[in-house]
Structure 1
Amino acid sequence: MPKKKSNFRQDAKSIIVQVKEPDELLSFLFKVMPNRSRNSVKSILGRGQVMIDDTIEKQFNYKLKPGQTVTILKNKAAIKQDALIGLQILYEDDDILVINKEAGLLSIATEKEKRHTALHQLMKYVKRENPDNRIFIVHRLDKDTSGIMLFAKSNDVKRKLQDNWKTMVKERTYVALVEGKVSKKEGYITSWLRETKTHVMYSSQTPNDGLLAKTRYKFIQGNADFSLLEVNLETGRKNQIRVHMQDLGHPVVGDKKYGSKERNAIGRLGLHAKLLAMHHPTTNKLMTFEADVPASFIKKSK
């Protein structure tokens, strides 16, 4: 007598199958994914990409019952992402996690806000799979800056990334929507950055009077009111791009702290971390992560 077929649905993120008869989970997965190798299927199960009725299950011999729903996530980052607010996971493996952070979300806690941060949400996210899991912040983005952020999954990986940042990170590219028409198509800004007692950064041209900061920029498009620039960091100082755009005479849109005097035309800070290219801390493979330029930046600079 032929076996009954399982109900089967597939989309860009997952395969969803309704269980029709008793089976062990691994055996069931082999049948559902006949084109994958046995090791590949085992890896998917072991990485926590399989859910039974919305609960992650890793046991190969889990006893399936008729009526249960098995969801196979094509990307581990899709697990429970619906619970994340203000960020999207772009990549995840056993060592690192890369996100696209929205403007308005804090990277880490402050005295006033402890929970609605990228770090707090991601800590809860990884603990759903294992209560012992942790997340470590490698670098920060300002609250009102959007784009690529990198996190480590162990303290050892965090230290390796931070201690070797200059050699492991090959490119950090931002886009900045700035006020006015930038006449020079590309430029190079260097200064020494210092911080006031009120935590405002400022430039000094006196050698060694602060931390050396180097920024390259390239004009993408613009009009009489706004310019869209591609900005590459050679150093990663606090508020570096914002200070250097102020030095250029074209402050970042919405940046009252660093020289903006115009009405904020986009309702946010005009700064976005577009690209991060880096060598993986374990495999040494060169990896590139990108986050699309906000539509408002493009629209205002046309």
Structure 2
Amino acid sequence: MAELEWEGLVAAEAAGQRLDQFLAEPLGSRARAARLIAAGLVSVDGRELAKRHSVRAGERVVVARETPGPAAASGPQPAQFEVVWEDEWLIVVDKPAGVVVHPARGHMTGTLVQALADRASGGEDPQRPGIVHRLDRDTSGLLVVAKSDAVHRRLKAMLADRSLRREYLTLVEGTPPARSGTIEAPIGRDRHDRLKHSVDSDAPRAAVTHFELVEVLAHAALLRVRLETGRTHQIRVHLQAIGHPVIGDSIYGGPMRFGLKRQFLHAERLAFTHPATGAPVDVRAPLPGDLTAALAAARAALL
């Protein structure tokens, strides 16, 4: 007999709700409920029904616990990550370069989402439970992940009202003409290369990036960058647009210098008001080894 995840009766006040909506609270999110229903792990009065089923008062709903398939042990290894903050409401992880955040074409396994399957929840997309924002595969650093629908909604609202602060460190080609600045240029899919994003787009969306000069190096500069919006590849596209591409960025023109094998871009700081407790959360992740070595090489080039 399968181990139970949850079992209960439909109360009169819940009658008429969709099955996935009814299960959203006990299972942590509507997306997770929909996934378990689709997997055949939910029964209503002994029958497997679609997620759109309208529950009726007195129906008994039973949810079986998920178990890994027999191929799990020999399948792809879980994504590696470091937890830098965790409580009952959310988790902040330090994602290494090379890890994909959620399943996508060409990367259906070994993702961060799958590694967090028992801890993350919330949101409408069953492929991205708990994911509030993302990082490119070859960008390292901090991500906040929700553990429930309610926390996911609040963190998404913070992104929308720009109260969730995201800061990056990046090494760029050349030196910007000002010690600080704001790049305000809409971004969308490039008109000529559908695999890239660009300020030259038929469907641009507003994008704002702030930067500060941290250190001037030999034909390079270390910048602290703050995102106001979060478009795909935003930092990389904006810095290319002003003539200072991220070093190591093979897609947007940054040269492979200082021993780098990927773009020098690291999500170094996250700061926000905790959506459940109201306490300030301010976490940082040090540069990983490959970027630390590249920065040392860039400094040595001054000698």
TM interval, shorter chain, is 0.5 to 0.7
Q: 1:201 aligns with which of 197, 202, 211?
A: 197
**Aligned-partner Cα distance in 2 for 1:144–1:262:** 14
The residue correspondences of 1:222-237 to structure 2 (distance < 5 A) are 222-237=216-231
Higher strand share: 1
Mapping for residues 15-26 of structure 1, pairs under 5 Å:
none
Deviation by residue 1:77-121 (Cα, 9 ceiling, x = unmatched): xxxxxx964310111111101100001110111232222111111
CA distance in 2, matches of 1:241, 1:301: 21
Stretch deviating more after TM superposition (90-99 or 113-122): 113-122
Matching of residues 113-128 of structure 1 within 5 Å = 113-124=107-118
Deviation at 1:177, TM superposition (A): 1.1
1:296 and 2:290 are equivalent in the alignment: no
TM-score normalized with structure 1 length: 0.63
| Percent identity (aligned) | 33
Letter in 1 for 2:89: D
Give the unaligned 5+ runs of structure 2: 1-76, 122-127
Q: Give the corresponding residue for 1:137.
A: 131
- One-letter code aligned to 1:299: A
Partner of 2:90: 96
8 Å CA contact retained: 1:168, 1:278: no
Structure 1: how far apart are the matches of 2:210 and 2:100?
26
Q: What is the root-mean-square deviation in Å for CA atoms of aligned residues?
A: 2.6
User: What is the CA-CA distance between 1:224 and the residue it aligns to?
Assistant: 2.1
AA in 2 matched with 1:296? A
8 Å CA contact retained: 2:250, 2:263: no
Contact kept, 8 Å, 2:183 with 2:238, in 1: the verdict is: yes
Q: Give matches, 1:154-169, under 5 Å.
A: 154-167=148-161, 169=163
Letter in 1 for 2:110: H
Structure 1 residues 245 and 225: alpha-carbon distance in aligned structure 2, compared to 1, 3 A threshold: same
Moved more, 115-124 or 181-190: 181-190
Distance 2:96 2:177 in 1: 30
**TM-score normalised over the length of structure 2:** 0.63
Q: Is the 8 A contact 1:213 1:234 kept in 2?
A: yes
Partners of 2:249 and 2:256 within 8 A in 1:
no
Map 1:2-81; keep pairs closer than 5 Å.
none
- CA drift of 1:125 comes to 6.1
Shift of 1:124: 4.6
Match of 1:267 among 252, 261, 269: 261
> 2:246, 2:264 within 8 Å by CA — same for their partners in 1?
yes
Worse overlay, 97-106 or 230-239: 230-239
* Structure 1 unpaired stretches of 5+: 1-82, 128-133
Contact 2:95 2:140 in 1 (8 A): yes
| Alignment partners' CA distance in 1, 2:177 and 2:252 | 20
In the other structure, the counterpart of 1:185 is 179
Structure 1 residue 262: Cα displacement: 4.5
